[in-house]
Amino acid sequence: MLRTHTCGELRLDNVGEEVILTGWVQRLRDKGGMLWIDLRDRYGITQLTFEDGVTPAHLFEAARSLGREYVIRVVGKVIERYSKNDKIPTGDIEIHASKIEVLNAAKLPPFMIEDETDGGDDLRMKYRYLDLRRTPVRRNLELRHQMMRAVRAYLDEHYFIEVETPVLIKSTPEGARDFVVPSRMNPGEFYALPQSPQTFKQLLMVSGFDKYYQIVKCFRDEDLRADRQPEFTQIDCELSFVTQEDILNTFEGLIRHLFLKVKGVHIEKLPRMTYADAMKYYGSDKPDTRFDMRFVELNPLVKNKGFKVFDDAELVVGINAKGAASYTRKQLDELTDFVKRPQIGATGLVYARVQEDGSVKSSVDKFYTPEDLQAWATAFNAKPGDLLLVLAGDKDKTRKALNELRLEMGERMGLRDKNVFSPLWVVDFPLLEWDEDSNRYHAMHHPFTSPKPEDLELIDDRPGDIRANAYDMVINGVEVGGGSIRIHDRRLQEQMFRLLGFSNAEAKAQFGFLMDAFEYGAPPHGGIAFGFDRLCSLFGGADSIRDFIAFPKNNSGRDVMIDAPSPIADAQLDELHIKMKNLPS
């Protein structure tokens, strides 16, 4: 090794030792007669010291000529530091250097390689290899590494076997758009990159591998946002001879294990909420339950009082922001503007304050008597000082808008603490959802999800009322995992395909291999997949999964560091039998 120690390990016990360190010059402080260099590597920072008259003149000048991010090797003696630094683990010592070797000079970096940098997102993504030198970014990847180790340890302990599945597969029509790969040896035909290993893990169950897992790359060509990347990582799992209860218990155990091993946080048994209750009380199938503020429906209390907005509405519903009655008119106007934003879509906001004397004052006082408003307060279980916020309109749209308002109020009131974790299971999803544009049902999860056995009698007459044998794990308002008990019977799978609008020929062309496999003794099975990047960002207290991916894409799906995607040579296109159309400029 070129070094005897790292830049993070020397302590007072090492005083007097001759050591060799290597690393990058973090910063240089030149006080004329004294010179200090902070030397950094992956493990930490150690201070080097040079003193005019004590350090040989040539060495002093060599140190003075170093620049930021120079890669150097230093020989020196460990001494006790006179002015100690309790901000770093090595802050009690420093190195009195006797030799410096420049291993590689460096250009001045385009941004500061510091915890708090002056580089914007685009610049840091272009020079991601420099951004990765920063301590917060490195710690994110160290957290990811810890998470991966803990996942494997838990699943190994529970007799899961890790099996790799293909990356070049067949394109399927359900879900997001596929990324496709042309086949040179099969002109005019294409592979797809897997959105998940769904069919392969089911085939592994048919093969008798009763507990499979894989920490696997998946690919979806969809619009990007903070918690989406075109390529992402899943903890993908499948089990045979299990019920939904078995799967919930097994993977609740995994999450509790991760919190304990990685965060040192003990999580109690996860509560369960039906999809119907999640939508009714939170307006979302991934409710943030770190705070209460559940929806209260007001239809019987507010209709037929002459207020047209409420009279004409399918649903009148609100939340109680406890202690927020002191909100000013300006703050209430801000909330009104917030819910009227196009992406939220409410037409307005009604509010009511519960005064210190218990009376209620609202923005629609002229339509409602004091007794009417007291009935509102009772419905919300409101106390003096509380603020009631009410929306009205189409049922689904209004619940969605109120969910956004609830989250906004949770943020403003400091109720969404990133150091507090509130996981739960959401169960009993609808099996199907109707799509007006295509005039047919789509699978809410995927076509292989099994219906609840007690709902099978609805399959011919009321398919929209069938509940899925499916479940999602939600933490702090983020869906971190989801899965289902699968269909393992060919006849039921064929019925499902028909419900989804597949002809027999289409079903056979897309999934014939799976249907054929079901005829060779497919066991009952089910599984779950966790968004590993999302879990990492949640554990790390960040909003974006990009912070926990070594080389992420930007919001346009580009890697600006290597400039991908990019055109390919005409000769390659000819080999692949691909002809380019005139593209829009």
Closest CA to 90 of 134, 38, 133: 38
Instruction: Say if CB 425 and CB 273 are below 8 A apart.
Output: yes
Q: Among 98, 110, 92, 77, which Cα is nearest to 44's?
A: 92
Rounded Cα gap, residues 533 and 233, in angstroms: 6
229 annotated as a binding-site residue: yes
Q: Mark out the alpha helices in 65-197 (DSSP H runs).
A: 121-126, 128-131, 135-157
Tokens of 404: 């956004």
Intra-chain end-to-end CA distance of the chain, in Å: 53
The full 3-state SS of 230-266, as one line of letters, equals CEEEEEEEEEECCCHHHHHHHHHHHHHHHHHHHHCCC
Q: Is 479 annotated as a binding residue?
A: yes
* Residue 152 labeled ligand binder: no
SS3 465: helix
Tell me, what amino acid is at 398?
A: T
Confirm if 446 and 486 have CB atoms less than 8 A apart. no
445 annotated binding-site participant: yes
Distance from C-alpha of 218 to C-alpha of 392, rounded to nearest angstrom: 40
304: helix, strand or coil: coil
* Core vs surface per residue 334-348: b (16+ CB within 10 A) or e: ebbebbeeeebebee
What's 541's DSSP letter? T
Q: What is the DSSP letter of 520?
A: G
Residue 531 counted as an annotated binding residue: yes
Residue 162 marked as a ligand binder: no
Q: How far apart are CA 132 and CA 142, in angstroms?
A: 11
Distance from C-alpha of 50 to C-alpha of 83, rounded to nearest angstrom? 15
The contacts of residue 331 (CB under 8 Å, 6+ apart) are none
Contact residues for 507 (Cβ-Cβ < 8 A; gap 6+)? 494, 497, 515
Classify 426 as helix, strand or coil.
Answer: strand
Cα separations (Å) of 184 from 170, 191, 192, 444, 574? 15, 11, 14, 36, 9
533 annotated ligand binder = yes
**8 A C-beta contact, residue 281 and residue 294:** yes
User: Is the distance from CB of 476 to CB of 416 less than 8 angstroms?
Assistant: yes
The pair of structure tokens assigned to 181 is 């790969």
Q: What phi and psi values does residue 542 have, to the nearest 5 degrees?
A: -115, 160
Q: Which residues of 479-496 are buried (b: 16+ CB within 10 A; e: fewer)?
A: bbbbbbbbbbeeeebbbb
Indicate the pairing of strand 190-192 with strand 180-182: antiparallel
534 assigned to a ligand binding site: yes
Give the separation between CA 103 and CA 100, rounded to whole angstroms: 9
Binding residues for ATP: 220-222, 229, 479, 531-534
Binding residues for L-aspartate: 174, 220, 445, 486
Binding residues: 174, 220-222, 229, 445, 479, 486, 531-534
